[in-house]
């Protein structure tokens, strides 16, 4: 376990939109940073170091850590860039935790951002894959997700109606979140009647393209308790970026989630995740993942994901609400998305989630997804973790 | 603030050309594909898994692989989808023709899946587990495009 | 600090490693580092890879080297930028208490792209990019500003090139070992005034890996650890017009912090060797001053006196530096690895007498962001 405790003491995010022509990238970043500093009642002078990330080819800017200084507040501060694709936001949060836990810094500002409106998102994601082997046929995130859903359906007999139920849940939850981009309830029939993008994924099964930024402030124990009376303690982090080639993936199960969860829960003594965890903010870019990945996380046994979703257990007011924010289906500024999950989980623990607050949250899990079916995970807690 | 119309600056036709090395393993694969219309995989000396495309390192065992083995050309569909939405192909800068079949094919003798197009002329035949065979281009260039697509064997 | 570098691995630096993929390069460097430390991949409990989506020509460039760096069943992460920054995050993970041993890799193949297009993308797309600026033209402006402010001469810049290319003759990993004269440099093609071709580092391919371990793990090993005494990084303003280009203020701040961590009060006396980020000749002099190893504007004169030569009072870049091989993202990590070899007394023909050394890495244009490492033979 860590040498010293680390907590989230403030969060900020933009009101996410499909297109923000009113601001440039630095200004978008600055909005989120300002809100996080306000939330923690700190000034940029109090920040020791900055971690920032996005995916380069969405905006076409090289050395974003250097370019973003005016927005991030990194002038004459340590600034470092972490990027791992879709997992970038969660990777940044895990990075901030380690920099503070190490004693190298006491207070760090973590920033994830993306202006997906500035390029063709699918084209840019396609360039994430091997130029020689994968790029010809790959069609961005949707194609990779569609083959996962196909494999799972063939194995466990799930239907596109099951997938649609998850979309209905997240889109309903998003109505409680003023920062979400898409805030409109949909019905099962509307999801199923929406255009087929890549079998079995309909338009309303997947995330939109988004411009947005998120900022999170982490502090060491010594400072955290002075900054806020309700710090969100980071209990542990775990991740698996298992695969280099898409063809190696065990399609239909998310191995990286299964292994990262086991690692995470073992570190924290979580033995019955379904009972011990109060809320999950999952980087779930499309509906079927809401069924498959809770099985990998060990919330329900294999093949039982759909049944659990239909029971209403993951809806607001249920046994284990998932994505009270509306999740990724309601908004996906890619480099920020994983960090938004982290920020939303922190808000749940801190009791700051307002209209989307789940009562009495002791433990929350936030996740990141991206790359070649990779997973990042963070366990957040109201009580201090043991050292 | 004034109500003004926001300006967008276009990057123009900026391109960043690259010359990607495929290395010894990839080169062997493409020579074999070009000259003999055969597929090469590589076997891990520790776990015996056969990887396609061939590469130096077994990610599971962290050992170097040296034993090339012929796989395919036939195989089964491991998983697939049919792309029905339009997007810009970063290879060409133009819209990708849709619909197209995107498949992960388990070539006979391989343990990993090989990505390529699947012919979706008759969508009802395209299923997980269906047997497929490659259709090669007339021109032999030694790239992934030497295979036009895989089609379901009746 | 309770952490040390226990293993390093470098590939040779070459103009074009045409037969090698990124993964091939990483595999070679990682195995060399593991062998160097006398441990296996199972002893590594987490991994940081360092790469750049721009330089590698693919989004999520870290994906290409996952298998080759052994991440399959491990916690891992990826830094974009110079390898010294990747190593800084690796140090944080090692010191956090969550991990014992962190493997760091950094790779680059400049041969696969057109570097001026890649570095042009570092300029602001709205205000600057359309002028066609690249790293060389921007650095030429900085060189001019530095020479104007300090009176440093073109001959002094040329001397850096002579020294480093000569040093490279003792480095089996270097790309451009050669004997050249000041006249050769001044007579080489003028690329961007005042920078001649031989004032500029070449385009290169290479990969470097290092392993950082905490003090408890080091005890179990039978290797000579090199102890990490101070690490700091700092960024300056983005727009070049917002900075005084003739000064390296971010480097000064990073160096000051790293020295404070290391308990160093007089770096000119207490540092025995420096491996600095000499992407251009003038940068070696600027960075020497920024690192507090010479007074501002005096490095050129000290160089003329031979102080930074291999047999001088403070050898700078006995490896031959970036001027003799510049695999962009890996370049700073090579600097760390070279200092490690020197402090262990294993630098072969390029060995100097050193107990304590400093290594430096750079991100962005004209040294906008710097990372400084202070390393020591003793704990």
* pLDDT tens profile C94-137: 999 999 999 999 999 999 999 999 999 999 988 888 888 999 99
Is residue A190 located within the same domain as residue A312? yes
> Can you give the residue range of the structural domain that contains C212?
3-114+204-219
Q: Is residue C330 a part of any domain in this protein? A: no
> What's the pLDDT tens digit per position in A227-277?
999 999 999 999 999 999 999 999 999 999 999 999 999 999 999 999 999
CA distance B128 to chain A (A): 7
Is residue A91 located within the same domain as residue A203? no
Is residue A178 located within the same domain as residue A282? yes
Is residue A73 located within the same domain as residue A201? no
Mean pLDDT value across residues A76-99:
98
CA-based end-to-end distance of chain A: 6
Q: Is residue C7 a part of any domain in this protein? A: yes
> What's the pLDDT tens digit per position in A133-148?
888 888 888 999 999 9
Q: How far apart are CA A263 and CA A280, in angstroms?
A: 17
**B11 close to C (CB below 8 A):** yes
Q: Which residue of C has its CA nearest to B62?
A: C70
Is residue A239 located within the same domain as residue A223? no
Q: Which residue has the tokens 């003594």?
A: A269
Share of chain A above pLDDT 90, in %: 91
Q: How far apart are CA A369 and CA A254, in angstroms?
A: 10
Q: Is residue C141 a part of any domain in this protein? A: no
Q: Is residue A127 a part of any domain in this protein? A: no
Q: Is residue A387 a part of any domain in this protein? A: no
Q: Which residue of A has its CA nearest to B145?
A: A136
The phi and psi torsions of A281 (rounded to 5 degrees) equal -105, 105
Tokens of residue C106, six digits: 């950094």
CATH number for position A40: 3.40.47.10
Tokens of residue B34, six digits: 């070009």
Give the global pTM: 0.97
- pLDDT score recorded for residue C317: 98
> Can you give the residue range of the structural domain that contains B103?
23-152
- pLDDT score recorded for residue C176: 98
Provide the pLDDT confidence category of residue A1 given band limits of 50, 70 and 90: low
Q: Is residue A129 a part of any domain in this protein? A: no
Q: Please give the tally of structural domains in chain B.
A: 1
Tokens of residue A290, six digits: 């809401």
Tokens of residue A196, six digits: 């087929």
Q: Is residue B115 a part of any domain in this protein? A: yes
For A162, B50, C60, C340, C376, the CA distances from C51, given in Å and listed in that order, are 40, 28, 9, 22, 27
- ipTM of model: 0.97
**A213 close to C (CB below 8 A):** no
What letter would DSSP give residue A84?
Answer: B
* Test mutation, A6, A82, A131, chain C, max C CBs within 10 A: A82
What does the buried/exposed string (b/e) look like for A259-277 if buried means 16 or more CB atoms within 10 Å of the residue's CB? Answer: bbbbbbbebbebeebeebb
Q: Is residue C109 a part of any domain in this protein? A: yes
CATH number for position C87: 3.40.47.10
Q: Is residue A93 a part of any domain in this protein? A: yes
- pLDDT score recorded for residue A2: 74
Q: Is the pLDDT of residue A157 over 70?
A: yes
Q: Which residues neighbour C213 within 8 Å (Cβ) at sequence distance 6 or greater? A: C3, C4, C6, C37, C94, C100, C101, C102, C221, C225
- Which residues in C112-219 belong to E strands, given as ranges? 190-192, 195-196, 205-214
Is residue A214 located within the same domain as residue A195? no
- pLDDT score recorded for residue B8: 86
Q: Which residues of chain C have pLDDT under 70?
A: none
> Can you give the residue range of the structural domain that contains A220?
6-120+210-227
Is residue A357 located within the same domain as residue A254? yes
* Test mutation, A247, A254, A373, chain B, max B CBs within 10 A: A247
- pLDDT score recorded for residue B15: 78
Q: How far apart are CA A220 and CA B136, in angstroms?
A: 60
Q: Please give the tally of structural domains in chain A.
A: 2
> What's the pLDDT tens digit per position in A314-347?
999 999 999 999 999 999 999 999 999 999 999 9
Q: Is residue A35 a part of any domain in this protein? A: yes
Q: Is residue A128 a part of any domain in this protein? A: no
Q: Is residue C100 a part of any domain in this protein? A: yes
For A25, A114, A152, B151, C230, the CA distances from A139, given in Å and listed in that order, are 26, 20, 20, 19, 46
Taking an 8 Å cut-off on Cβ atoms, the answer to whether C126 and B23 are in contact is no
Label the pairing between strands C46-51 and C190-192: unpaired
Q: Is residue A126 a part of any domain in this protein? A: no
> What's the pLDDT tens digit per position in A45-73?
999 999 999 999 898 999 999 999 999 99
Q: Is residue B60 a part of any domain in this protein? A: yes
For A74, B135, C252, C299, the CA distances from C369, given in Å and listed in that order, are 10, 52, 11, 21
Q: Is residue C152 a part of any domain in this protein? A: no
């Amino acid at each position: 376990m860590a040498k010293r405790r680390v907590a989230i003491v403030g969060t900020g995010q933009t009101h996410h939109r499909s297109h923000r022509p009113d601001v440039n990238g630095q200004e978008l970043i600055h909005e989120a940073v300002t809100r996080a500093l306000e939330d923690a009642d700190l000034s940029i002078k109090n920040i020791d170091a900055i971690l920032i990330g996005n995916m380069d080819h969405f905006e076409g800017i090289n050395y974003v850590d250097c370019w973003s200084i005016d927005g991030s507040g990194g002038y004459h501060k340590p600034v470092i860039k972490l990027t791992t694709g879709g997992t970038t936001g969660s990777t940044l949060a895990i990075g901030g935790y380690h920099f503070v836990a190490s004693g190298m810094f006491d207070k760090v500002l973590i920033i994830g951002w993306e202006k997906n409106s500035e390029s063709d998102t699918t084209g840019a994601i396609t360039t994430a894959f091997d130029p020689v082997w994968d790029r010809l046929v790959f069609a961005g995130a949707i194609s990779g997700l569609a083959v996962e859903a196909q494999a799972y359906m063939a194995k466990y007999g799930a239907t596109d109606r099951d997938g649609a139920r998850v979309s209905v849940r997240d889109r309903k939850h998003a109505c409680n979140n003023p920062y979400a981009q898409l805030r409109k309830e949909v019905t099962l029939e509307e999801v199923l009647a929406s255009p087929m993008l890549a079998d079995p994924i309909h338009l309303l099964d997947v995330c939109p393209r988004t411009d947005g930024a998120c900022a999170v402030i982490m502090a060491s124990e010594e400072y955290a308790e002075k900054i806020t009376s309700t710090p969100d303690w980071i209990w542990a982090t775990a991740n698996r970026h298992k695969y280099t080639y898409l063809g190696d993936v065990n399609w239909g199960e998310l191995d990286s989630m299964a292994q990262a969860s086991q690692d995470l829960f073992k570190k924290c003594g979580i033995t019955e995740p379904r009972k011990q965890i109060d809320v999950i903010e999952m980087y779930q870019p499309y509906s079927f993942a809401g069924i498959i990945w809770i099985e990998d996380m060990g919330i329900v046994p294999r093949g039982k994901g759909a049944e659990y979703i239909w029971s209403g257990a993951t809806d607001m007011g249920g046994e284990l609400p998932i994505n009270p924010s509306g999740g990724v289906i309601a908004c996906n500024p890619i480099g920020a998305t994983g960090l938004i999950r982290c920020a939303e989980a922190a808000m749940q623990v801190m009791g700051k989630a307002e209209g989307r607050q789940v009562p009495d949250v002791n433990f929350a899990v936030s996740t990141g997804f991206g790359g070649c079916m990779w997973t990042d995970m963070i366990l957040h807690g109201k009580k201090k973790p043991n050292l | 603030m004034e109500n003004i119309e926001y300006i967008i600056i276009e990057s123009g036709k900026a391109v960043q050309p690259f010359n990607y090395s495929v290395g010894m393993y990839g080169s062997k694969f493409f020579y074999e594909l070009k000259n003999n219309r055969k597929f090469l995989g590589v076997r891990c000396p520790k776990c015996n898994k056969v990887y396609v495309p061939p590469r130096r390192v077994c990610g599971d065992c962290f050992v170097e692989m040296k034993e090339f083995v012929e796989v395919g050309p036939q195989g089964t569909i491991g998983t697939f989808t049919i792309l029905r939405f339009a997007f810009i192909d970063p290879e060409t800068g133009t819209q990708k023709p849709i619909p197209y079949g995107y498949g992960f094919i388990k070539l006979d003798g391989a343990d990993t899946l090989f990505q390529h197009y699947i012919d979706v002329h008759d969508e009802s035949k395209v299923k997980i587990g269906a047997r497929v065979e490659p259709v090669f281009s007339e021109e032999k260039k030694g790239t992934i495009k030497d295979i036009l697509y895989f089609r379901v064997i009746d | 600090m309770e952490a040390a570098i226990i293993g390093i691995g470098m590939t040779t630096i070459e103009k074009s490693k045409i037969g090698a993929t990124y993964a091939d390069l990483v595999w070679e460097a990682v195995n060399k580092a593991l062998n160097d430390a006398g441990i296996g991949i199972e002893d590594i409990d987490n991994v940081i890879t360092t790469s750049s989506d721009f330089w590698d020509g693919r989004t999520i460039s870290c994906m290409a080297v996952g298998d080759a760096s052994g991440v399959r069943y491990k916690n891992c992460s990826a830094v974009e930028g110079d390898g010294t920054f990747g190593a800084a995050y690796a140090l944080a993970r090692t010191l956090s208490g969550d991990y014992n041993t962190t493997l760091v890799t950094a790779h680059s193949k400049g041969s696969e792209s057109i570097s001026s297009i890649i570095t042009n993308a570092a300029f602001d797309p709205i205000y600057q990019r359309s002028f066609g600026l690249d790293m060389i033209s921007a650095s030429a402006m900085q060189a001019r500003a530095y020479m104007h402010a300090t009176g440093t001469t073109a001959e002094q810049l040329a001397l850096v090139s002579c020294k480093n290319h000569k040093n490279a003759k003792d480095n089996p990993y270097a790309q451009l070992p050669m004997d050249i004269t000041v006249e050769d440099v001044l007579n080489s093609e003028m690329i961007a005034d005042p920078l001649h071709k031989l004032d500029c580092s070449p385009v290169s391919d290479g990969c470097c890996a290092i392993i950082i371990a905490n003090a408890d793990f080091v005890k179990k090993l039978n290797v000579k650890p090199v102890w990490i005494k101070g690490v700091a990084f700092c960024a300056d303003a983005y727009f070049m017009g917002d900075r005084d280009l003739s000064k390296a203020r971010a480097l000064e701040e990073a160096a000051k912090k790293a020295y404070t961590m290391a308990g160093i009060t007089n770096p000119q006396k207490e540092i025995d060797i420096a491996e600095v980020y000499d992407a251009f000749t003038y940068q070696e002099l600027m960075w020497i001053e920024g690192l507090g190893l010479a007074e501002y504007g005096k490095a050129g004169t000290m160089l003329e006196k031979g102080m930074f030569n291999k047999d001088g009072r403070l050898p700078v870049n006995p490896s031959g530096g970036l001027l003799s091989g510049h695999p962009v993202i890996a370049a700073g990590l090579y600097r760390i690895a070279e200092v490690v070899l020197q402090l262990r007394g294993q630098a072969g023909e390029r060995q100097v007498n050193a107990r304590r050394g400093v290594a430096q890495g750079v991100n962005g244009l004209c040294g906008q962001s710097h990372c400084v490492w202070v390393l020591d033979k003793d704990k």
